[in-house]
Amino acid sequence: MVDANAGSLYVAEGPNWVPTDLGRGPWDPNALHGGAVAPLLVRELEALPAPVPMRLARVTVELLRPVTVEPLVPRSEVLRDGAKVGLLEASLTRASDGVVLARARALRIRTAEVDFAPPTEDEVPALPDSDSDLLDRSPSGGSYVAFHNSAVRHRFAQGMFGEVGGAFDWIRLVVPVVPGEPPSGWQRAAAAADFGNGISSLVPFDGSTLFINPDLTIHLWREPVGEWVGMRSRTHVSTTGIGASDSSMWDTTGRIGRTNQSLLLDRF
């Protein structure tokens, strides 16, 4: 792990990426937040060569194991190339033993000027003037430097971390994913998307329950404009120990997409 003073989510160590304190998650200080894992995988996917101008349309991240705060080996490949649609894959492997910790599959679609008028019925929720204070609000109750309280800023238009029920949260990634490289719109969206279950929890953050997501799927019909990504989120549960979060995604000009998470539910 690298000290948060590095100023980015990861720093390079040869071909590997080493997480900084800014990527740590709320459940375990030795594991990364999904919002730090997803944009690194997206960065790998965006770097893959394309035969024509193309953009990611859907990314599904599978968090196979806790992504621990140690050197990670990134890998990516084109599974199916095409002039209109392509299928991509990326993974993060633990450098110490070669175990795959997370992977993502993505669909990319060619970009073109096509005369389809976007819908105008969505009213953009107002962006509050000041950030929300989240230093002591996390499932673990800890206030250590972590992704949710130090790498991003939150401005809640509805709800709050630790409050039961749906929420609308404006989220801004305030550090680069890697040093010296401004985050792309897709990377910003991926960083925000993993907060769906946290901001819309149906149980208080009192340490008696578990509601973690082993996956994350993001659909964007356009990339966000500007630095703020809005999340209108709701969590759904069942008596089977399985739940889901469902979120619409916004920028300050309108809707940009949707994101969902499967949830593992448990009580201690």
Note whether residue 187 is domain-resident: yes
Are residues 75 and 212 in contact, defined by beta-carbon separation less than 8 angstroms? no
Residue 18 pLDDT > 90: yes
Instruction: List the domain range (segments joined by +) for residue 141.
Output: 4-111+135-267
Instruction: Assign 234 a pLDDT band (cuts: 50, 70, 90).
Output: very high
For the ranges 2-11, 157-166, 191-200, the one whose mean pLDDT is highest = 191-200
Instruction: State the DSSP code for 227.
Output: S
Averaged confidence pLDDT in the chain: 91
Q: CB-based contacts of 116: which residues, under 8 Å, 6+ apart? A: none
Q: CB-based contacts of 268: which residues, under 8 Å, 6+ apart? A: 207, 208, 209, 210
Note whether residue 130 is domain-resident: no
Instruction: Assign 61 a pLDDT band (cuts: 50, 70, 90).
Output: very high
Task: Return the bridge partners of 10, or none.
Answer: 19
Note whether residue 223 is domain-resident: yes
Task: State how many domains the chain has.
Answer: 1
Residue pLDDT, tens place only, 94-133: 999 999 999 999 999 999 988 887 666 678 888 888 887 6
CA distance 76 to 44: 6
Instruction: Assign 2 a pLDDT band (cuts: 50, 70, 90).
Output: low
Note whether residue 261 is domain-resident: yes
Note whether residue 118 is domain-resident: no
CATH code of residue 263: 2.40.160.210
Residue pLDDT, tens place only, 135-164: 455 555 556 889 998 999 999 999 988 788
Note whether residue 82 is domain-resident: yes
Are residues 42 and 92 in contact, defined by beta-carbon separation less than 8 angstroms? no
3-state secondary structure of 62: strand
